[in-house]
Structure 1
Amino acid sequence: MVVALPASLQGPDGLQRLEHLADTYGTPLQIYDEQMIRDNARHLLTTFRAQFPSFTQFYAVKALPNPAVLKVLYQEGCGFDCSSTAELHVCKTLGVPGDKIIYTSNFTSKKDLALAYDLGVIINLDDISLVDSLVEVRGRVPDLMCFRLNPGLGRTDSETKSNVLGGPDAKFGVPPFQIVDAYRKAQAAGATRFGIHMMTGSCVMNNEYWKETITGLYETAMQIKKELGITFEFMNIGGGLGIPYLPDQPRVDIASIVTLLRTTFDELMGTHDNTTLPTLCMENGRYMTGPYGWLVSRCQAIKQSYAKYYGLDASMAHLMRPGMYGAYHHITIPARELDQSPLITANIVGDLCENNDWFGKDRVIPDAKVGDLFVIYDTGAHSHSMCFQYNGKLRSPEILLAADGTPRLM
């Protein structure tokens, strides 16, 4: 189920505080809860490290690149997964050391590769040809090298088909028929330490995906070891832990996933007569912050034509996922829920001059009024970071709520 608004913003008093925040900072307004983010990070790390003592979580910066939130996650023990040099710069500005940052880009320029090399981050190459590019700009590759494997298959449990990140139609990763040669080239270029990476899906809610991922990645690693004598220091199974966007959808059970992963690792190590458990890494973004963000927007117009429309001051420029992917986000109207207004069926839209600027179609919601605040849930990832300026729209302010409900503009 979706995560409710912070306790300080619930009930009649909470609605007054929400109105105060909207009046103070303006709408649309993005709100995050610091303590919820901290608690979730601690739970993930504690649960994984109970069975994988050296487990490392690299937060996917693209999900929510605000430095204040990144600092919170770093304080809780997370490293960072960066897909651009801008994200690298943000992390280095926060004082994050290179071994806590993995750089997984795609179709990467030589200039960007040179910067990543100079910053001393873990470079995870997406293509065999990038070995030559690194050698050209820096004379060699780093001691520690990693490649992203595309095993030829992918998966997602969301309605967003572009969340399938592996397979012949995915632009990411090195195919199996090139992966041994990729590591051979890296060896020849000076690499002496190695990791291996695979991420074939996003917003995955099915536990069996992780068994398939580990099995495929481990078997490939053993093939490379057999041919090249490489021992892998870490295996990175990417991100992809999903969150429930639907109100009645259950959350993934982290404990059961960890147990499944450990059991699968033990079985694979037994099959290959290995006794050393590699460092397990993940790169979750959505799971870490997604449920702990809410986009607050004010209804600025109501239209009755072929259907009833509530027009908000937020738009697709502030939350792209529904318009771009057809993604579902839960929406509530706190004032109308408190006074138990009758339920109606209506559409919820933004004011962009585009007909895909929708937040919800045929939603059963309380009958609202102009001026009411609407709350859109699960906007703590892939929301503010995907904003754009079409029609001259500006990004909404972001505030971080402390444990006592005190807001901080970020």
Structure 2
Amino acid sequence: MADASPTCPGQDPSVADLLAVRPALSMHAMDGLVLEDVPLNAIADALGTPTWVMSAGTLRARYRRLATALAATDRPVSIHFAVKANDHLAVLRVLAAEGAGADVVSGGELRRAMMAGIPAEKIVFSGVGKSLEEMRLALQAGIAQINVESAEELELLSAVAEAEGQEARIALRINPDVDAGTHAKITTGLATNKFGIPYDRAVELYARAATLPGIRPVGLAMHIGSQIVRMQPYRTAYARLADLVRAIRARGLTVEALDCGGGLGISYRDETEGAPEALAAAIHAELGDLGTRLAVEPGRWLAGPAGVLLSTVILRKQGYDGMPPFLVLDAAMNDLMRPSLYDAWHGIIPLSAKTAAAATEQVHVVGPVCESGDTFGHDRTLPHMEAGSRLALLDCGAYGMVMSSTYNARPLAAQVMVDGARWSVIRERQQVEALWADDRVPDWVEKTLLPAGGGL
């Protein structure tokens, strides 16, 4: 799930604080803010703003750290990138080249993952509401595993698999009723959440799965939420998962695989980032002696710190006397939804070194969309910026562009990938005419129009 870092009271991190823990970013006296070896002003000069920028080097570095941590345990753990975090083909190809599999939640994501070069045998299909068409697609593709989230879905999948003459390798996704301690909109492991099979029904349903035509139960899956930075919720959930494995085996049934989910958190503001080494230790401690294959589904931890959103201040708007001014950006909630949806906090750094060193002030940072929720932060302490100042919103590589819309008839922003000193456009800025290219006006409506009197 997408996550949130709620707005925090207290002193905001300084530009120096933000840069100190983001090794791919640096501030140069002449070039300004640089991602890897690419000045971000050069991208803004060429393409304008708003523009998304992804760092291929950061994706690789974080994947390798995670893979190293998981491989260091006695029982290695396979990595399936959560495609919902960032589904761009370039991002998926970079991770596929590192050996990543994919965790998908729709037929479209399944097709994207395969188009990016991720083999079907490395793809897991999750999600609480798979359509019959999506089930057929997964079976025909021969993916590694379908994570079944309800008794009702299990019966449907059995019927589809039997009709297709296929065998569905399935894991039951269990809801352990464990509080991950995250934002209410991104927790997935509580009894009140829509996800997964109630814990106390899991053993019987697993036994039922073993009797169904077209179904081969291979294991269990669990995912308790997103932006998790403490290991105790994982330990508690994994211990419950281990108890289920033992109970199922006591019935004479086989459990070959355990999908440990994802949710490892990052530092948006000043949180302690979730450590892959600690996660690997938690998995090994609770599940390592069960003799199963193990897998994880990271999304945000891999992709979040790899992306920034470039924007420009349209104007400074003075409010009531004694209140902070508004910095109105050309980026908006239709571009980056997280602050509006989750009250999420994203670091903001000017692209100019001179501006970054200016005296700080308190400001409200907002977008131009006609919604009060179109805001990137209230009472933010930032270097003084005027109209025309460019800035980067940090840690936008996960649940950023993938959640964008064209609300207020705003075209989708351009996307760029940097790799060392080189950069390339990976998606052109959408042309405004594309917004209505697929619209169709019925003849009976067309006839009610007055004769054309012009246009823009």
TM-score by length of 2: 0.83
Query: 2:171 maps to what in 1?
Result: 146
CA RMSD of aligned residues (A): 2.0
Distance in 1 of aligned mates of 2:24 and 2:41: 14
Task: Choose which of 401, 418, 433 in structure 2 pairs with 1:384.
Answer: 401
Pick the aligned partner of 1:279 from 293, 302, 309: 293
Do residues 155 (structure 1) and 180 (structure 2) align?
yes
Task: Sort the Cα spacing of 1:95 and 1:366 in 2 relative to 1 into closer, same or farther, 3 A.
Answer: closer
1:295 aligns with 2:309: yes
| Structure 2 residue identity aligned to 1:401 | V
Aligned amino acid, residue 178 of structure 1: R
The 8 Å contact of residues 131 and 185 in structure 1, kept in 2 or not, is answered as no
- The residue that corresponds to 2:426 in the other structure is 409
Aligned residue number for residue 224 of structure 1: 248
- Which consecutive unaligned segments of at least 5 residues does structure 2 have? 1-16, 428-456
Aligned partner (choices 160, 183, 203) of residue 180 of structure 1: 203
Rounded Cα–Cα distance in structure 1 between residues aligned with 2:178 and 2:76 = 28
Summarize deviations over 1:148-173 as a string: whole Å, max 9, x none.
Answer: 1011233134xx31111112220111
Contact map agreement 1:106 1:172 (CA 8 A) in 2: yes
Compare 175-184 and 289-298 and name the one that shifted more.
175-184
- Are residue 214 (structure 1) and residue 238 (structure 2) matched? yes
2:357 and 2:228 mapped to 1: Cα distance? Answer: 35
Q: What is the correspondence of 1:26-175 to structure 2 with a 5 Å cutoff? A: 26-121=48-143, 122-139=145-162, 142-157=167-182, 160-175=183-198
Specify whether residues 137 and 337 from structure 1 end up closer, same or farther in structure 2 by C-alpha distance, changes over 3 A only: same
Q: Which amino acid aligns with 2:161?
A: R
* Residue equivalent to 1:242: 265
Cα distance in structure 1, aligned partners of 2:406 and 2:25: 33
Mapped partners of 2:285, 2:248: distance in 1: 23
* Cα gap change, 1:265 to 1:166, in 2 (>3 Å): closer
- Indicate the residue corresponding to 1:273 in structure 2: none
Tell me if structure 1 keeps the 8 A contact 2:307–2:398: yes
Deviation string 1:211-261 (CA, Å, 9 cap, x unpaired) is 11210111112112212x222221111001000111x33322322332233
Distance 1:371 1:123, change over 3 A: same
SS in 2 for 1:188: coil
CA distance in 2, matches of 1:168, 1:252: 24
Under a length normalisation based on structure 1, what TM-score does the superposition of the two structures give?
A: 0.91
**Alpha-carbon distance in 1 for matches of 2:109, 2:340:** 25
Q: Kindly indicate whether the alpha-carbon contact (under 8 Å) linking 1:8 and 1:405 is maintained by their aligned counterparts in 2.
A: no
Given that residues 52 and 279 in structure 1 are in contact (C-alpha distance below 8 angstroms), is that contact kept between their aligned partners in structure 2?
A: no
Cα pair distance change 1:339/1:129, threshold 3 Å: closer
CA contact (8 A) 2:136 2:161 kept: yes
Out of 358, 374, 382, the residue aligned to residue 391 of structure 2 is 374
Q: Do the aligned residues in 2 keep the contact of 1:155 with 1:163 (CA within 8 Å)?
A: no
SS in structure 2 at match of 1:361: strand
Q: 2:349 aligns with which of 332, 335, 342?
A: 332
Q: Which residue of 1 aligns with 2:364?
A: 347
CA distance in 2, matches of 1:339, 1:189: 63
Tell me: CA distance 1:345–1:259, structure 2 relative to 1, closer, same or farther (3 Å): same
Is 1:394 the counterpart of 2:411? The answer is yes
More helix by share: 1
2:206 aligned partner, one-letter code: Y
Whether the 8 Å contact between 2:219 and 2:257 is mirrored in structure 1 is yes
Gaps of 5+ in 1: 270-275
* Residues 60, 284 of structure 1: 8 Å contact kept: yes
Q: 1:85 to 1:244 in 2, by over 3 A?
A: same
- Percent identical pairs in the alignment equals 28
> Matches of 1:60 and 1:287 in 2, distance apart?
10
Separation in structure 2 between the aligned mates of residue 371 and residue 80 of structure 1, nearest angstrom: 40
Q: Indicate conservation of the 8 Å contact 2:147/2:171, yes or no.
A: yes
